[in-house]
Structures are given as C-alpha cells and as structure tokens.
Amino acid sequence: MTTESANAALIADVQSLLEDHARFQDPYPLYARARSTLPVTAAGSVRFATSYKDVVALYRHEKLSRQQAARAESAAHSRETNDQTLKDARAAWTRMMINQDDPGHRRIRRILEVAFRPTQVAAWRSIMKRIADELVESVRGRERFDFRAELAYPLPERIICALMGVPYEDHALWGAWTDAVVASARTSKPSIETMAAVDEAHKNFYLYFRDLIAARRSGLADDLVSLLISAEDEDGNKLEELEVLGSLQMLIQAGHETTANLITNGMYTLLRHPDQYDLLRNDPSLVGSAIEEMLRYESPAHWSLPRIALEDVIVDGGAVPRGSTVVLALNAANRDPSMFDNPDMFDIRRKSNRHVAFAAGPHFCLGNQFARLEASTMFHAIVTQLPRLKLDGQPRFKSTFVRALDTLPVAIDYSMGR
C-alpha cells in the first residue's frame, strides 16, 4: 500500500469513528496509526488531534473557540421556535462554563471554584462513603449482577441528589434527559427526532432547575444549589440566573455521566487485568494510583468537546485551518509513547502519570477532585468489602460521544474468598 492510499484509508477510518463511535470497540490501534502518520487528521471539516503534545497545545490555544462550537451545536440540534422557555433553556445550556471562552469562562470558573474548593469537597467525603457502602452491601450475597446499573451509576446519582437536597427518584428524570443530549453525536447531522429529543431534554432541565432555584432562594440552606446561588468570587461577582441553571445542568450531564463511566470502565479494565485486580485487592492503599491509571488507560471523556478555529493554527502534527472543527482525542494522547512508557500496559503502580483525562489549560476539569473522590470511595469499598468479581458476559461500548459501556455483567467468585 502506498503512503497516499494508507493515509486515505486512515482518514476514512477516522471519519467512520466520528460518525459512529461503536464501530471501533477498540479504537487504540487506529489512534496509534493516526498519531504516527497524521497526528492532526483532516477528516472532512474536522481536525482530529491524537498526539499528547498537540492535544495539550490545542487545549491551551486561545484561538480555538468552544463557545462558537457550542452555539453551532445548539443551532444544529434545534428547530425554529417561538417558545420563550425553550429559547431560555438553550441559552442556559450555552451559558455553561464548559461552553464558554474567556473572559466569560474565567469569570464563571472563579465563582464556581469557591463552591468546589478542596475543603468543601472533602466535607462531602462522609456522604460518599455512606452511599458507596450501602450500594456495595446491596449486592453482597448475589451470584451475579450488572455492575454498571447496580454500583457505578447509582453512586454519583445518589450523591448529587443528596448534595442538592432533592428526592433520589429525580435522578431517573435527569438520566433520561442526559441520555438524549449525550447520545446526539456532535459531529454528525442530527435527525428531526434527535433534535426534538434534545430540545425536550434542555427544556425539562431548565424547568426543573428553575423551580428548584426559586425554592432555594426563598430559604437558602447548606445544600449544593444554595451554595451555587450564594457563591461569589473575591470581587463580589455571583452567577447570573442562567449561569446557575447552566451550572446545575453541567453537574448532571458532565459530572454524573463521566464519573459513572469512569467507575464502569475502571472495573472493566480491572476484570480484564486480573493481576492488577489482585494487586489492588491485596493493597487497597493503591486505590488512588489505580484511579489515575484508569483515567489514563480508558478515560470516559475520550474526546474533547469540539472547538472551532478562529484563525489558522499550526501545531507540530499539522495545520488547523480557520473555521474548521477541532476534536482532541484524549485517550489517544494518554497512550502516546512519547509521554508514557509502555502506554498500552495497564499498571496501577505507574509513576509520573500526567494524563489528560481531565483536559488541560484553562478548561482543566473543575470537578476533577470531586470525581476522583467518588471513584476512589467506590473502589475502596469494592476491593475491601466484596469477594472477587469476574466478567459474566461481554459488554460493548456504546455509540455516544463519551466512552461508555452498555452494561457490565459480573459474577461473584466466592471461591476466591473476600
């Protein structure tokens, strides 16, 4: 095969991956091909970056706009409407911190940093532990169960409900709305049905949190909603109403979904690497290091949110023309051999694990410590309180913009003892 035909085949495969993420259940060989030959692959109007150096550089580049991409996504997934509530709901989504550029992004982030300062996150540890212990206890004695449905997803759902001071049953509503938004591929043309589902989800989120915020304003308490309403930076700036709405929706969509998938993907990886699983069971002090390796090896946020180039941008791996959409492949960067020794090896004792699972630069994930604490609390409970688990079927990764399994069927191996 000539270089030209090999590159054409690579580009076709990247386009196929962007259109349907489930076509490549194991995308890492494709990532390696792209990284070694076309680190910034031109797949139609999309530039797909796969090297660690390029991903970090593009995350930090001020001429890549997340805000313009978010507006384009909203327009692509929206129909014309005279419904003011729906217009406000769309505006709240685009006003999320993760959908903003500076200076708006920096202003919102400074306020949210007050609400998510390390001492505040640490204060939630006891709530996380209680919920993790209850969930693990609920599967004790079972012969088999769906790890994703019984442990991974309920943990962040119950935690966020407890912190917001709302009934746990409300998580079922959020889950359906989140699925509608996350399932819509941001790099492909949506159907009429998809647009209707996304609009309905945004509207439902808006109405739910609008009423919740109004209730909290009438009597602020110590819950997370009240904390966001009252948080202010050192200059006295507070979140505007749509920004509070957007921040709450962001916590559900970006926070819950990614943490649940981190726990699911992490457990799946342990089950496929029994030596590492046994190592962790024998030495639970390695949980923190194991979480970092799970984040590197199989991050739930396998790609960045798309960005649009405001001008021509040049990085080591190639050119990003003005107006093109840019997607940064975090999981490809996290397997870059120029950054990590034996990158395709899962090693929970890995040192100097500078992965980009939580992004880089100004958009480094604000909730990273919260997610790490949730995951470490759950895995500590699993390896200290449950017998050894084993796969009880073959799960598949779903065709969504995140790296997510459809199920994770497991059985308890009582022959292994605790």
Q: CB-based contacts of 84: which residues, under 8 Å, 6+ apart?
A: none
Query: Could you tell me the CATH number of the domain that includes residue 328?
Result: 1.10.630.10
- Kindly report the number of other CB atoms within 10 A of residue 84's CB atom: 8
- Tell me the percentage of the chain whose pLDDT exceeds 90: 72
Side-chain half-sphere exposure of 307, counting CA atoms within 13 A: 29
pLDDT at residue 188 is higher than 60: no
Rounded Cα distance, 289 and 280, in Å: 10
Rounded Cα distance, 343 and 335, in Å: 5
Rounded Cα distance, 238 and 227, in Å: 11
Task: Give the three-class secondary structure for 339.
Answer: coil
The total number of structural domains that make up the chain? 1
Report, in this order, helix, strand and coil percent for the chain, each rounded to 5: 60, 10, 30
Residue with tokens 């599967």: 139
List of E strands, 115-208: 144-146
pLDDT at residue 255 is higher than 80: no
Model pLDDT for residues 76-116, shown as the tens digit of each residue: 777 778 889 989 988 888 889 999 999 999 999 999 999 88
Rounded Cα distance, 326 and 320, in Å: 8
Q: Are the CB atoms for 331 and 403 separated by under 8 Å?
A: yes
Order the strands of the 325-328 sheet from edge to edge: 40-43, 46-49, 325-328, 307-309, 64-65
Tokens describing residue 301? 């946020």
**Residue of 402 and 374 predicted with greater confidence:** 374
Which helix (H) or strand (E) element contains residue 318?
strand 318-320
pLDDT at residue 207 is higher than 70: yes
pLDDT band for position 187 (cuts 50, 70, 90):
very low
- Kindly report the number of other CB atoms within 10 A of residue 98's CB atom: 19
- In this structure, of 92-101, 246-255, 341-350, the range with the lowest mean pLDDT score is 246-255
pLDDT band for position 173 (cuts 50, 70, 90):
confident
Closest CA to 336 of 346, 328, 325, 344: 344
Where would I find the H helices in 20-124?
28-37, 52-60, 66-76, 84-94, 104-115, 118-123
Closest CA to 138 of 123, 127, 149: 149
Rounded Cα distance, 325 and 153, in Å: 31
Model pLDDT for residues 280-300, shown as the tens digit of each residue: 999 999 999 999 999 999 999
Domain range spanning residue 367? 3-416
User: CA-based Rg of the chain, rounded to a whole angstrom?
Assistant: 21
Tokens describing residue 383? 């390896």
Show contacts of 114-123: CB within 8 Å, 24+ apart.
114/231, 114/232, 114/233, 115/224, 115/227, 115/228, 115/231, 116/366, 116/367, 116/369, 116/370, 118/369, 120/227, 121/369, 121/370, 121/373, 122/373
pLDDT band for position 354 (cuts 50, 70, 90):
very high
Residue with tokens 């017998």: 387
Which helix (H) or strand (E) element contains residue 280?
helix 274-282
Quick one: pLDDT at residue 372?
96
Model pLDDT for residues 53-80, shown as the tens digit of each residue: 999 999 999 999 999 998 888 777 777 7
